[in-house]
Structure 1
Amino acid sequence: MNHSFDRYAGIVFCAVGIAFVIGSTSISTSAYGSNVGANIFPLFLGAFLSLMSIRLIYETFRRQQKQQNREKLDYKRFGIIFTAAVLYALFLEDIGFVISTFLFLMIGFQTMQRGRIWISVVISACFSYGVYYLYVNVLDGTLPGFPSWLVLF
């Protein structure tokens, strides 16, 4: 673990999180057909990112770097997850939130740790449908549902 990189990354991500929180205040508080406005997700995600970044910064100061190890960067895993994130953003509207989130999580879980596929399937399915249900039915928000060609079958 490179503590100086973690410290600088934490500072950058904290600034990004604060920018999200500040930027979300200028977004409309209500959306057409939704009781939850478009500003809710950026506000909470920015706050969460800032809090996690502060935690990371705190951890880097708390731990003394005992040895100078050079870790080999894993470009293959980074490339797979980055590609999956780009494809997730591109196909979110076309295949819907639940399916695209499920596929993204499955790719991410299997990239980080091979095996235990059934646990990955259960966690991915429960998380993607749970977030969809919570946001759409409980909070009365709108997310891309299931694609129309899937509903026909």
Structure 2
Amino acid sequence: MNRTFDRYAGIVFLAAGAAFMLESKNISSSAYGSSIGANIFPFVLGLLLSLLSLRLVYGTFRYKRQEEKKKESLDYKRFGIILAAAVLYAFFLEEIGFVIGTFLFLMIGFQTMQRGRIWVSLLISAVFSFGVYYLFVHVLDGSLPGFPAWLGLT
């Protein structure tokens, strides 16, 4: 952990979270066929990002001096893989649907961060993907791209 990097990253993410919350107010508050508006999800994500970044900035003041002296090498390969997966996830979300896209993104992320334990990664990815979809679409009456039409499940 690099205290300076973590502190600046926390401040940048705090600003990004605040921007998400402010800009979500410009999105219409109601959507056709949905009891919750399209502005709720970005607002909640911005709030979550802001709270987590505040925790990160607070945590940088508690780092010990000994940890600062160690030199860490940055893992650009893992960062690149996860960044590419996130960009592809956002690009293909409409075509492959939320459930499949989220499942694949989580699997790539889990396996990039820690090789092995494939069954645990499969289980967590599947439960999270289907769980969030069910919660948002069926419980909250929201709308997400479900499954691609070529699968014939919609």
Normalized against structure 2, the TM-score is what?
Answer: 0.95
CA distance in 2, matches of 1:81, 1:70: 23
- How far did 1:9 drift? 0.6
5+ residue gaps, structure 1: none
CA–CA distance in structure 2, aligned partners of residues 88 and 26 of structure 1: 24
Match of 1:11? 11
Counterparts of residues 3-152 of structure 1 (less than 5 Å): 3-66=3-66, 67-151=68-152
Query: 1:80 and 1:13 mapped to 2: Cα distance?
Result: 21
Q: What displacement does 1:8 show?
A: 0.7
Q: Which residue identity is paired with 1:57?
A: V
Task: Indicate the SS of the match to 1:62.
Answer: coil
Q: SS state of the match for residue 143, structure 1? A: coil
Deviation at 1:69, TM superposition (A): 2.1
CA contact (8 A) 1:6 1:57 kept: yes
Please list every run of at least 4 consecutive aligned residues from structure 1 whose deviation after the TM superposition is greater than 4 angstroms: none
How far is the alpha carbon of 1:26 from its aligned partner? 1.7
Separation in structure 1 between the aligned mates of residue 28 and residue 65 of structure 2, nearest angstrom: 45
Question: CA offset at residue 104 of structure 1?
Answer: 0.3
Root mean square deviation of aligned Cα: 1.0
Letter in 1 for 2:141: D
> Can you list the C-alpha shifts for 1:114-141, whole angstroms capped at 9, x where unaligned?
0000000000000000000000000000
